[in-house]
Amino acid sequence: MKTICLNFNLHKSVLLKKYRFFDIGNDNNYFDKFTTDLQTEIDAKSYIMPLFKMMEQLSNEYKDKFKCSITMSGIAMENFTRAFPEGLRVLRELAQTGNFEITGMPYYHSLTSITDKEELAIQVKKHSDKIYELFGVTPTAFRNTELIYSDEIGRMLYDLGFDTILTEGCGKAIELYGPNVLYFNPTCETQKIITRNQDYSRMFQDGLKNNKLFTPEYFAEKFYDFEEEDEVIYLGVNFSNFHKTEYHNSEVELVKFLKSFVSAIVELGEFVFETPSGVSKNHTPTAPLNVPRPISGMNRYHDLTPWRSNELQEEAIMKITSYAKLVKEANSEVLTDIWRNLQSSDYFYYMSTDFFNNPTYGYKPNPFKSPYEAFINYMNIVSDLERRLKEKIKEKERETLTNEEIKDIIKHYESVITDLKQKLDNRTDE
């Protein structure tokens, strides 16, 4: 029986404040948490909680016949903890049923899988620990930031305990068998790779955007178009796709679209819903997925250009990544958390000139008027962070001085003062 692997992605970075050059050295607050929390509460009440509740209804009605996975960034968990903890309570109840898998990812929705292996391991572990703390489960399936993947990244994640990976179905890697089969990583054959069906994921999202295009029942019937060898259909959608558009009176209509689709699939009886780990367990891989260079699910080229297509982005990524040594030396929990929050991929995406030249390029609203404004604002912030890190290091150096070292420093400055006084006296005599 063919399997539908449905994954919902939930992430929202903390908005950055408008930070001017003259704020450097005068303002230690970089994030607009008030606006972020306000927007989180609005989103939670308007479409996220109704979606959670609908999932709960589907679980109660169909039991094991409805399964899916949810990917939620650590930043989103923090936002919900502050602004709408009720959402986390409902998600915990869903996770406890065993039919809703919470997948792993980098805690800060960062690009560490392509910039810093050591930092990737730290952020992945922090995310897994947070999932266990909030939901009582430990993730073994992984959906990287924007589906970024390569053979090397898969191997790193396998070493971190993840035997199932969700990524984009694109390029030469799937030319022979297509996206609708289970693959394995050629560098570690026990790691299973599930590739997203772009066309059906996009069709699902289009149906949510405009309910006049087709009915959920029509979408369900389209699944009969799959070939016999197609075994696994991975549909990936973002929670933000359930936000009301001009074609809907309310978010409730979009949530009902999901219910009608699930009901139609269950009634057809030809397909089963399954979690990523369930797919990995119940299906045999067809072939290796060879991905020597990183791919992503963010743009039409399926590469890293949304974050690394111009000098602004490259300089910003280089700058924040280069602070790793300073962060370790400063050993400040507060500054380390700020540094990691500033690694969120969204901040580099806002610097993309392609996004502004082509509005259909991406789907994330940009809070800045231009990529250049996003870049300048970001670089002002990281410049101030660098200042604070260096100050913290000097502070720690002073704290570790022995009494003898302190006495030697005092003697040195006493000598300097004596010399200066002598020069002043000489000038007075003249």
Q: What is the pLDDT of residues 326-341, one digit of tens each?
A: 999 999 999 999 999 9
Residue 118 in tokens: 């050591």
What is the residue-averaged pLDDT of the chain?
Answer: 91
- Mean pLDDT for the stretch of residues 346-374: 80
- pLDDT at position 406 is 77
Quick one: pLDDT band at residue 299, thresholds 50, 70, 90? confident
Max CA distance (Å), the chain: 105
Q: What is the pLDDT of residues 137-152, one digit of tens each?
A: 999 999 999 999 999 9
- CA–CA separation, 259 vs 264, rounded Å? 9
Q: What are the φ and ψ backbone dihedral angles of 137, each rounded to 5 degrees?
A: -135, 155
CA distances from 116 to 106, 110, 318, 324 (A): 12, 10, 11, 9
Q: Reply yes or no on whether the pLDDT at 321 is more than 70.
A: yes
- pLDDT at position 246 is 54
At how many degrees (to 10) do helices 371-399 and 333-341 cross?
Answer: 160
Secondary-structure breakdown of the chain: helix, strand, coil percentages, each rounded to the nearest 5: 55, 15, 30
Q: Looking at 116-125, 350-359, 389-398, which range is the least confident one?
A: 350-359
Q: Reply yes or no on whether the pLDDT at 247 is more than 60.
A: no
If you classify domain 2-288 with CATH, what class do you get? Answer: alpha beta
Q: Tell me how many degrees the CA angle 37-40-41 measures, rounded to the nearest 5.
A: 90
- Mean pLDDT for the stretch of residues 307-322: 96
Q: Are 32 and 15 in contact (CB under 8 A)?
A: yes
CA distances from 400 to 151, 248, 294, 404 (A): 45, 63, 44, 12
Q: What is the pLDDT of residues 251-274, one digit of tens each?
A: 677 888 899 999 999 998 889 999
Residues in contact with 175: Cβ distance below 8 Å, sequence separation at least 6, in sequence order: none
Q: Reply yes or no on whether the pLDDT at 362 is more than 60.
A: no
- pLDDT at position 354 is 81
- Mean pLDDT for the stretch of residues 110-117: 97
Q: Give me the DSSP letters along 87-147.
A: HHHHHHHHHHTSSEEEPB--TT-B-HHHH-HHHHHHHHHHHHHHHHHHHS----EEE-GGG
Q: Reply yes or no on whether the pLDDT at 361 is more than 50.
A: no
Cβ atoms < 10 Å from Cβ of 263: 17
Q: Are 184 and 190 in contact (CB under 8 A)?
A: yes
Q: What is the pLDDT of residues 221-230, one digit of tens each?
A: 888 888 888 9
Domain boundaries, the chain: 2-288, 316-399
Q: Which of 123, 171, 130 is nearest to 144 (CA)?
A: 123
More confident residue, 375 or 243: 375
- pLDDT at position 172 is 86
H/E element holding 257?
Answer: helix 251-268
- CA–CA separation, 317 vs 49, rounded Å? 34
- Beta bridge pairs of residue 100: 68
Phi-psi region of 16 (alpha: psi -120 to 50; beta: other; left: phi over 0): beta
Residue 148 in tokens: 């970024």
Distance of CA 389 to the CA centre of its chain: 25
Q: Are 308 and 316 in contact (CB under 8 A)?
A: no
- pLDDT at position 173 is 84
Q: Looking at 77-81, 94-98, 336-340, 411-415, which range is the least confident one?
A: 411-415
